[in-house]
Amino acid sequence: MTASAATLLRTAAELAGYAPGGDRAERAVVMTMGALHEGHASLIQTARAVVGPAGQVVVTVFVNPLQFGESADLDRYPRTLDADLAVAGAAGADVVFAPSVDEVYPGGEPQVRISAGPMGERLEGASRPGHFDGMLTVVAKLLHLTRPEVAFFGQKDAQQLALIRRMVRDLNFPVEIVGVETAREDDGLALSSRNRFLDAYERHTALALSRALFAARDRLAAQQALHARAQTTGATEGRAAGLNRLGEARLAADAQAVARARPDQGPAAVRAAARAILDDAAAEQPPLALDYLALVDPADFTEIPDDRTAGDAILAVAARVGTTRLIDNIPLTFGAIA
């Protein structure tokens, strides 16, 4: 499929009348604010694979004013519709639905909105008050307008994804929400339309976000591997001391590490590994200004306690480099044996 295969629609009436292949064709939607990159392309490709050649893939391009706290941020957001059409078509989209603000909000800003609730006040919600209410409001409207059976969202915006899933469940939307793994550049930086605002020096500093997440993941895997060995080998402090007396320093150090491995040290170790890299980045030029580092429950984005020994979690980070604010996250599972 080529870029020319994507049909541009501007109005809800045009979209309602679009039904190639018949009304029974399964429809998937990928919602974006434009400035499409390879991360968006990955979402579109996944959507195409799920609905197959007979299905419909609709990509929405709408810069939602309700999600921006300051008009300057709204004005700064890149608009690249011609390039977006090319990216969407090449990735497998049938339609790009790019309505105007008046089309989405014909009476001006809506008086009735979706409330994100307590989860929407944490992390990103605390940093950007009202952001998630605006996001959920437009997602709800676009779900009604596009009428998909399935919708795809990126894991990079993990809190957004969790809130959309909660809205769909709580309000009985007849749609399946699918999360797609974060797409990254070769150096590990999470793909984002904001990356274009980074100069070479800022980009170097920004790499600390993904490096911190990967270091935390590796620390957890190492700890869980040590704990698994402790369970199977029965290593003790006494064995380590005995090896030391025999002059086997390296074996003694290994035995001691295994003996001291405890499953309830995972959350603290994860936070410490990530924090060390972010602290170093704060001393870089230009510096990384940390907004938050949080290890949270993916169900409600509350903090994971230090004594958590099992279950899923998300390690999330947000920071500003220069004038650009970036977010990233990684899923973790405590209690898993590598």
Catalytic: 40? yes
| Cβ neighbourhood burial of 14 (10 Å; 0-12, 13-18, 19+) | middle
Annotated catalytic residue within 40, 131, 144, 204: 40
What residues act catalytically? 40
